[in-house]
Structure 1
Amino acid sequence: MDTSERERLQMRLWRPQTHSPRPQRLVRSSSIYSAPPALSRCSLIRGTTSTSRPARRKPSHGCWILYILTGIERTSRSTLRKIEDIRSLQDDFNKRAREASKGGSNSELQLILFEQPYCRIKTVVERCKVSRPTATAWLQDLVTAGLLQDLKIGRDRLFINREFLKLLVRTEPTG
């Protein structure tokens, strides 16, 4: 295959999708996946997504690698910030829980409350090896102190750690 045939094939394979208002994505032509021309020239890293220029050169794999590594770096930094915030929330929450309830000083209960943003009485009974009335009293004391929210769903009672839930679902700034 000579270079002109290869260029024609690349132009056909790298056509951007223009029929959809969605952002551009990889286009399948025959059995090969290829990038639209705007993405093959590091345009996402520079912040432009213009498709007005035709693709004349081979795509640079270095641009794709740089794009992927930039995404990994941003995600890692965001995740590290979230982990630090969770740890500080956990320390603060545990101090307040010790003051609010006798069970607040139980280390297993503290772990349960930060494994998921909610817990059930049954989980506390099984993991802390206490009776159901004791587990209910511990969790109810935390509700009274404003640390948890009691929510009845069907026959189950869920105790929701609202602060932890808000921290988990908040959007992180990029950059």
Structure 2
Amino acid sequence: MNIEQRRELLASLPPDDKKVIYTSDDGAEISVTRTDELTIKDFSVFLKKTDEEEFSPTFVRLLIDLHIKKISNPDETDSLSNIFENIYKGEDCAALIDSLGSKTFPMQLDSLDINMVLAQLLMIKQEFNYGPEKRETAYDPARGYLMAYIRWVLSEKNEVDKIVTAAVKEYMPPENFDS
């Protein structure tokens, strides 16, 4: 589903309704529940891995996992950057997952397909909660905030402690990662 289709699906969810969005080949499930917590249409994202408790992953987890992937297989850094740029641009996440081929990462928290769907959902969450008539953001589209952090993590100037600290404190990423 591309980002617009997924956004429409999420916007149409009734409040408190839970929907499984994606199931990976290894049985991990990503689901969402509409909460209307920050704004109307706000939702929470959940990840349920096989034989583990369900939890709500954050964009900090995504950033750390992308950093781990980058250092465990540096040859795939450009490929990772391209994948997440395409998600940011709105491309169909399922088609991107199908095109992954045999990308492997010796170290990871979650599989790359889980990262991709999670990134798309968190970008949509940014769109629902930030922008005109919502919480203020310097980004247009609002999902640019998360994408700037993804670019920063996948860049050569990768000080993960500094990046995660900035993300947790809700600081703006450096301007050179805005586009």
Q: Compute the TM-score of the two structures, normalised by the length of structure 1.
A: 0.21
CA radius of gyration, larger in: 1
Q: Compute the TM-score of the two structures, normalised by the length of structure 2.
A: 0.21
Report which of the two has the higher share of helix: 1
